[in-house]
Amino acid sequence: MAGRGKTPAITPELLLKAYASGIFPMAEASDDPQIFWVDPTERGILPLDGLHLPKSLRKVIRKARFTVRVDTAFAAVVDGCAEPAPGREKTWINRQIRDLYLALYREGFAHSVECWEGEALVGGLYGVSINGAFFGESMFSRQTDASKVALAFLCERLIRGGYRLLDTQFITSHLARFGAVEIDRDEYHVLLGEALSVAASFYPAGAGTAESVLQLFSQTS
């Protein structure tokens, strides 16, 4: 269950305050101009100290099938997340939401992790970063395992950068394979408060290569 409330046009600053308060925006559909706030009673998180990297995904990363980049095609990643996909014919990303996240990206509060095959963007994810909390918004994949690789590279970056919280909002079978769990709202707010109280870096030294990802998860898995 989630509390919802219709809202007028909002600013990037208000959106950051909403995340810091534990709520996030969605739209009913891409052509619906309205946005509502979501405050789930059960919140999905991916514990960074209990992350599981499946063996099959380790093999994909080791083969370096994809080139992984950060913050080079943020708008294209958002647009990829808004595309219809099997099991997801409608998207919650409308024009206002797209514009808001592009504004946060320009201000340094939103980031993308991208998987490329040559010059083709084949998968990725994006989210919002405030201090030691990262709020994962959406991911997409045009090639098998592309979004999973992006998630693994994101998690490595967050761990090395000193983040305390990776908020996934909801749980999917895709996320559950990595160790995502649901916690109640009160517990989430405790973790959120702790994460917001620490400084973190989205660009830690030594992160972002297949070798660094595999090395980190050989130690933590």
What is the chain's pLDDT, residue by residue, as a tens digit (221 residues)?
A: 444 444 456 899 999 999 999 999 877 665 666 778 989 999 999 999 888 899 999 999 999 999 999 999 999 999 998 886 665 556 667 788 889 999 999 999 999 999 999 999 999 999 999 999 999 999 999 999 999 999 999 999 999 999 999 999 989 888 998 999 999 999 999 999 999 999 999 999 999 999 999 999 886 65
CB neighbours of 164 closer than 8 A, spacing ≥ 6? Answer: 48, 132, 133, 191, 194, 195, 198, 200
Q: What local confidence, expressed as pLDDT, does residue 12 receive?
A: 94
Q: What local confidence, expressed as pLDDT, does residue 1 receive?
A: 40
Q: Residue 32, exposed/middle/buried by CB under 10 A (0-12, 13-18, 19+)? A: middle
Q: What local confidence, expressed as pLDDT, does residue 26 receive?
A: 79
Which tokens sit at 18? 């909403």
Q: What local confidence, expressed as pLDDT, does residue 5 receive?
A: 47
**What does the alpha-carbon distance between residue 18 and residue 28 come to, in Å, rounded to a whole number?**
19
Q: What local confidence, expressed as pLDDT, does residue 33 receive?
A: 66
Which tokens sit at 185? 């709202």
Q: What local confidence, expressed as pLDDT, does residue 195 receive?
A: 98
Q: How far apart are the first and last CA of the chain?
A: 32
Q: What local confidence, expressed as pLDDT, does residue 129 receive?
A: 98
Are residues 7 and 99 in contact, defined by beta-carbon separation less than 8 angstroms?
A: no
Q: What local confidence, expressed as pLDDT, does residue 155 receive?
A: 97
Give the pTM: 0.91
State the pairing for strand pair 133-141/120-130.
Answer: antiparallel
